[in-house]
Structure 1
Amino acid sequence: MSIFSRLSDIVNSNINAIVAGAEDPKKIIRLIIQEMEDTLVEVRSSAVQTIAERKEIERRIGTLARDEAEWERKAELALTHGREDLARGALQARTHLIKTREALQGQLSQIMTGLSHQNDDIAKLQAKLADAKSREQALLSRTSIATSRVKLRERLHDGRISDAFGRFEQIERNLDALEGRAESYDLGKRTLEQEIEGLEADTAVDSELDAMKARLRGRIEAPGS
């Protein structure tokens, strides 16, 4: 099972449990990131062990290669001294070492392939984790805004707000009635400014009347002069 299949199973299981319990979406987001972080730590730890195993096998292969060369040297030495039996035994020992080294090389090849896959998985997981973290704040902001809007809408539809505005309207009606009563006491009364304006108007009318009388007298007196 790949780490992504395993991670998906873990995350989906926990998310289903959270959704079933109507948990805060923030917890779901944080859980996903936490699971990815934990998986990344686990995969890196596994990679460290695999690298240590690779190094150990490489050391053993190096030692076997040196031992092979040594047995080959001994076989040549035995032949130079006419000891074919010893040379044969040395070559047999060398052959055994070659088989052991080749087996280790096959094992090393498998380990290298596994490490390559682990490196790919780690790179992909790091990229997904970075993307998740970059999207976390945006998702949290959207969650916060949506939650605030829901609360605001609930308050706007709250009967207590309607009652409060109803009381404001009643207060305004009461003030209108009170101001109307105050104004009713002033009906029929003229202010100082109105009195002065009246006098000015009367003076203008009197002046115009006197002028008119003078013109009429002039017309009457004109024919008999």
Structure 2
Amino acid sequence: MSLLERVSTLLRANLNDLIEKAENPERLLKQLVLDMENQLLQVKTQVAIAIADQHLLEKKRAEHESEAGEWKRKAELAVAKGHDDLARGALERKLSCDRLVKGFAEQAEDQRLEADTLRQTLRKLEQKLSETRAQCEILMAEHRRAKIVGRATQARQVVGGTQEAALGRMKSRVRQSAAENAAASEILTPDTLEERFQSLEQHEQVEMLLGEIKHRAALASESAK
């Protein structure tokens, strides 16, 4: 593949499509940047060579044009001196130089067009390279931001999980304490009707015995008087 074909392939590349289809867009864009930088150096080299060749061809054209003019002058001089044979030889050399002038002029023009094409390609490639670099920077910034957001989300999840675990443990303790209190209350408080009457009767017996003790104490006190 020629240089211009490789560059044309890079210039036709749709960055958005490539990014969407790539498994690793950041790596893809970095590789594109490297490829474009490499092609850019080659295009710059070709531009310099094309310009140098153009100048060389124009110089050759000018030299042969000057030589043709010199042979024309010599032909005119030979005619003036009556040397037609010399004039014919000089004119033949002039015509040969004219053909060379025409050939070098055509080559110089072709070289100029090629140099112009390479210059335009160079500008387009520089623009595409700038665009790709910007896309790469944007993508890397988004990637870094996504990582930061991901870490923040994980941190919130960890903190939230810790808080939920602590609240869960606290709720469990409260429920256990409530259950223990309820159990103790059940133990201390009579539940059945029989137990409640039994408790009432026991209280009455206690009060009766207490009254008897007080009555005997009162009688003993009166006897002592």
Whether the aligned pair in 1 keeps the contact of 2:47 and 2:118 (CA below 8 Å) is yes
Contact 1:74 1:87 in 2 (8 A): yes
1:100 aligns with 100
Give the counterpart letter for 2:48 in structure 1. V
Q: State whether residues 11 and 124 of structure 2, in contact with CA within 8 Å, keep that contact through their aligned partners in structure 1.
A: no
Q: What pairs up with 1:35-54 in 2 under 5 angstroms?
A: 35-54=35-54
Q: How does 1:178-189 map to 2 (within 5 A)?
A: none
In the TM superposition, 1:64-83 aligns within 5 A as 64-83=64-83
Give the drift of 1:44: 0.6
Aligned to 2:129: 129
Q: Please tell me whether the aligned partners of residues 64 and 98 of structure 2 are also in contact (alpha carbons under 8 angstroms).
A: yes
CA distance in 1, matches of 2:82, 2:172: 133
User: What pairs with 1:122-161 in structure 2 (closer than 5 Å)?
Assistant: 122-150=122-150, 155=154
Structure 1 CA distance for aligned equivalents of residues 122 and 11 of structure 2: 15
Aligned pairs, how many?
A: 172
1:5 aligns with 2:11: no
Query: What is the deviation of 1:5?
Result: 2.8
The amino acid of 1:28's aligned partner reads: L
Letter in 2 for 1:91: L
The separation in 2 between residues aligned to 1:122 and 1:3, in whole angstroms, is 13
Q: Does structure 1 conserve the Cα–Cα contact (< 8 Å) formed by 2:11 and 2:128?
A: no
Residue type matched to 1:121 in 2?
Answer: T
**CA positional deviation for 1:146:** 3.0
Aligned to 1:216: none
Distance 1:55 1:178 in 2: 98
* Structure 1 residue identity aligned to 2:144: S
Q: RCO greater where, 1 or 2, for CA within 8 Å and sep 6 or more? A: 2
Cα deviation 1:141-187 (Å, max 9, x = unaligned): 1122234445555x4798x777634431244337758999xxxxxxx
Question: Do residues 115 (structure 1) and 118 (structure 2) align?
Answer: no
Report the residue type matching 1:168 in the other structure: A
Q: Partner of 2:30: helix, strand, or coil?
A: helix
Query: Equivalent residue for 1:34?
Result: 34
For residues 32 and 147 of structure 1, what CA distance do their matches in structure 2 show? 24
| Percent of residue pairs bearing the same amino acid type | 19
* Deviation per residue, 1:56-101 (Å, 9 max, x gap): 1111111101111110111111111110000000000000010011
Q: Deviations over 1:30-78 (max 9, x none)?
A: 1111211111111010111111111111111111011111101111111
Q: Describe the shift of the 1:3–1:109 C-alpha distance in structure 2 as closer, same or farther (beyond 3 A).
A: farther
Q: Does 1:164 align with 2:162?
A: yes
**SS at structure 1 position matched to 2:77:** helix
Q: Which residue of 2 aligns with 1:190?
A: none
Give 1:25 shift: 3.0
- What is the RMSD computed on CA atoms of the aligned residues? 3.4
User: What's 1:87 paired with?
Assistant: 87
In the alignment, structure 1 segments of 5+ residues that lack a partner are 181-225
Q: Tell me, which stretches of 5 or more residues in structure 2 are unaligned? A: 179-225
TM-score by length of 2: 0.63
